[in-house]
Structure 1
Amino acid sequence: MIRVHKGRGAASNPEGRFESTRHQAEDDGWYRETDERRPATEVREELARSVISRNDSPDIGFDQAINPYRGCEHGCIYCYARPSHGYLNLSAGLDFETKLFAKTNLAGILRDELAKKNYTCKPINIGSNTDPYQPIEKTWRLTRAALALLNECNHPCTIVTKNALIERDLDILAPMAERNLVQVFISINSLDNKLASKLEPRASAPHRRMQAVKAMHDAGVPVGVMVAPLIPALNERDVEAIIEQAAANGANSIGYTCVRLPHELKQLFREWLELHFPDRAAHVISLIQQMNGGKDYYSSFATRMRGQGIFADIIRKRVQVACRKAGLHRAWDTVLDTSKFVAPRIHSPQGELF
């Protein structure tokens, strides 16, 4: 059933693209609004066999990453990671934001991988797929455990989040920053709280994220702002204001991307638009297609992050001008120190003699 679910981004729960069967709900007249409970968050433990993922994509600013969680409770309707739930035979819709997986052995496996003799130290990004500070991190503390290990062995990392919960870990981040081991990016794509509550229902409010930018800066932690994703005719009007406020609160860099709609996300985003912005849904989709060569999504490395065509060029120039006025450089330009890395020691059940 396609409907607004309070506190959730997706309006439905379609089968994943790998499913062999399809279900279609029909209204027989007996349905009542009170018949359906709000979808609750379920967290399952996952024992990961490896935790460091690697990529060679030319449009991504890091080579390796870790993700403590599968799925994300923030429920951002535009999230490009939603289709990854299909590999678990789950939906990119409500399943992605309600059926979550916590990699409870993450710190132990990460220690093993960093201790390998052939490991080469490069900055690790935390949160490349799903947010490492989503609400369940308050309980599971997997991101904090990973940070503690990286701090222990002087390993550099970058973090991307849209949750002010990151302030909790300033006791680890500040000492890492003193050794040039960390760069934080806070994602802020709108200053409109009402819009954000629909786009990103369980993420921190925009003003609260801006406060987190200031908290990072005041603690000496390098912090940038990711204006991402920009959605034409919906949130791109705030570009200049976000960059101006980011600079005023101590950000050192700006990055941006335009909305991407791979796989199941095309259907989910259209449903969301029809429910929340029916008056401009067709216009938004038209502009997105103009930025993707006439398609909902064009996967070329050269254009997938920022689009192509006239409207994409306008956004690019607006960001460049705003950054120049604010004195901010481009995100991912910061070079972190890899020379201090010391491989962690593997804990032995027999103890250590020295």
Structure 2
Amino acid sequence: MERVRAVVVGASGYTGADLVRLALSHPGLEIVGLAANQKAGQAMNEIWPHFMGVGGLPRLSRVEELDLAHADIVFGCLPHGASAQMLAGISHARIIDLSADFRLKDADVYAEWYGVVHPAPELLDEALYGLSEYAREHLPGARLVACPGCYPTAALLALLPLAEAGLILPEGISINALSGVSGAGRGLKESNLFCEVAEGAAPYAVGRHRHMPEIEQELGRAFGRAVRVGFTPHLVPMNRGELVTASVALAPGASLADLRAALDERYSTEPCVHLLAPGVAPATRMVRGSNLCLLNLFEDRLPGRALVISAIDNLVKGSAGQAIQNMNLMLGWPETLGLEQVPLFP
């Protein structure tokens, strides 16, 4: 297999580090550049102890000092705004961006939710929304891929087949989500300190989380009309993992069996998305460290409604793993290459 040369921009964050971890076991990837301004000059094993004993990785450099001339793939793991500003100048390499900068197609919606003017609106039409299972046929020709957010990945994999089949109504979708603390990034924040997080759980960004317009954008495409959803995320005291429970209204004449049949038909041949046996609830411990998404359906006590539950690892299927899955599909490789890890349990 011919190896491609990859650069990871933002390698000092949780997403960047997990991307490097996965890349090390990928037979087709060679990491030729790593960047992180605050950690420039350091080796990965100096800031990430789990890389101790791993050789061959370049030292981290400042973003502006990166040598991109020989890169085939650039993974962008920078915060929103900074990512688009940096990646917009790259024309010779293919780009997989893990920030929010190219997910939303409307620059005005981006400005409303992220509080800044989009740095590269001219690239929004070109960017492919990279939910792997739905972007598969377009990925081989893509130059710029926007990896979905972690919450949208879990929510959309659960809901898109049902919306496309007309089995649920666009009105009254309510999503309750739980995430591990790594989803908030590695930056120092008082709300993420151990004493603030341990022994408790709390909602955050109530009524206005930045992933809401992303979920609405993609569900709107499936329904063929504008959609507004309820979405409430919660921070729970675990390192990684994400659990989404969506309450949906059934379309007239639809049954829970119809919903199950639609999910089974859509995902029966998918390597990374699996529908569990009836009655088995997805749990984060079932997917930890893997690129899997596990789904199931339950009848709601409220007449005419159902519960759709999904579990992913926010740093893998919700971020770094999906980025590598997208890269594999872009290059015509088996999409699970480098992603065959069995979930870590307990």
TM-score (norm 2): 0.28
Q: In terms of Rg, which structure is larger?
A: 1
Between structures 1 and 2, the one with greater strand share:
2
Q: TM-score, normalised by structure 1?
A: 0.27
